[in-house]
Amino acid sequence: MIQFRNIRKSFGDIRVLDDVSLDVPAGEVFFLIGASGVGKSVLIKHLIGLLSPDRGEIWLDGEEISRFSEKQMFAVRKKCAMVFQHSTLLDSMTCVDNVALPLRKHCNLSVTDARTQAMGLLELVHMRPFANHFPAELGDGMRKRVAIARALGLKPRYILFDEPTTSLDPVSARRVDRLIRELSDNLGVTSVVVSHDLVSIFAIADRIAMLYKGAVRLLGNRNDFQTSSDAIVQQFIQGRAQGPMES
């Protein structure tokens, strides 16, 4: 379980997060939404120690991690993988070698064993037929799935997805959605998904939190969002999201 408690974070004079509290129970597909610049990426970066809060606490599986040392953070990053918005695959390696790389590094596997496991992971994301292709030969959606396979290698309990379907065509986007749902349903992975994609949000989210002006505006399921009488929420889910300064 992930718990954010009263998180505050400023950059210079700008307070991005003022007082954010939310819980993500294990096994959920949890969406974090809100206008561009509201602090969604900033919030999830706190979970893997890329940022630390000015105030507040972050708990992961009953441990307060926000003041962990770099060394302690290492274990957190094994448990909590992040799939970044832009592909971070190495162009000089085939897909299977990209997926095998962290297995060799962190699990001390031989090249052959790492490759065998990597093939299994590519199978999970339905990319096995492309194992020997180079990332540059694939579309964005396929690269995203390979990046997810690589993240799965260290058997994370949590995966953080920063805009997994942004810039994908609709067919690829829905495949990534299905995959995120499968990871939760079949492997028990907990996913935190930052997204603007209303189709994804309403198709696969167990729960959704909307950030607005430094705090959680609404936290609930699809129905709570659709029936909310809050104009700010309605504006967002009807696809008329405004920038953070316009309201």
Ligand X SMILES: Nc1ncnc2c1ncn2[C@@H]1O[C@H](COP(=O)(O)OP(=O)(O)OP(=O)(O)O)[C@@H](O)[C@H]1O
Binding mask 2-31 for ligand X (x = CB under 6 A): ---------x----x---------------
Residues 17-46 that bind Mg ion (CB under 5 A): 41
The smaller minimum CB distance to ligand X, of residues 36 and 110, is found at 36
The smaller minimum CB distance to Mg ion, of residues 122 and 176, is found at 176
Interaction of residue 160 with ligand X, rule CB under 6 A? no
- The minimum distance between CB 85 and Mg ion, in angstroms, equals 7
Contact by Cβ (8 Å): 235, 241: yes
Interaction of residue 37 with ligand X, rule CB under 6 A? yes
- The minimum distance between CB 215 and ligand X, in angstroms, equals 13
Own/partner pairs, 177-185, CB within 8 angstroms, 24+ separation: 177/203, 177/204, 178/204, 179/125, 179/126, 179/145, 179/148, 180/29, 180/204, 181/29, 183/148, 183/152, 183/159, 184/27, 184/28, 184/29
The correct pick among 42, 82, 147, 151 for binding ligand X (CB under 6 A) is 42
The correct pick among 2, 33, 41, 49 for binding ligand X (CB under 6 A) is 41
- The minimum distance between CB 115 and ligand X, in angstroms, equals 35
Please tell me the distance from the alpha carbon of residue 63 to that of residue 45, in angstroms, as a whole number. 17
- The minimum distance between CB 84 and ligand X, in angstroms, equals 11
Residue in 198, 166, 172 with CA at minimum distance from that of residue 34: 198
Residue in 206, 245, 239, 246 with CA at minimum distance from that of residue 222: 206
Q: Other C-beta atoms within 10 Å of 169: how many?
A: 12
Q: In sequence order, what are the residues at sequence separation of 6 or more whose Cβ sits closer than 8 angstroms to the Cβ of residue 241?
A: 34, 35, 36, 196, 235
Q: In sequence order, what are the residues at sequence separation of 6 or more whose Cβ sits closer than 8 angstroms to the Cβ of residue 231?
A: none
The correct pick among 7, 29, 33, 38 for binding ligand X (CB under 6 A) is 38
**What is the token pair recorded at 230?**
């809050």
The smaller minimum CB distance to ligand X, of residues 40 and 115, is found at 40
**Which range, of 22-30, 37-45, 130-138, 171-179, touches ligand X by CB under 6 A?**
37-45
Interaction of residue 117 with Mg ion, rule CB under 5 A? no
- The minimum distance between CB 18 and ligand X, in angstroms, equals 12
The smaller minimum CB distance to ligand X, of residues 159 and 241, is found at 241
User: Residue 139 gets which letter from DSSP?
Assistant: -
Interface with Mg ion by CB under 5 A: which residues? 41
Residues engaged in binding ligand X (CB under 6 A): 11, 16, 34, 36-42
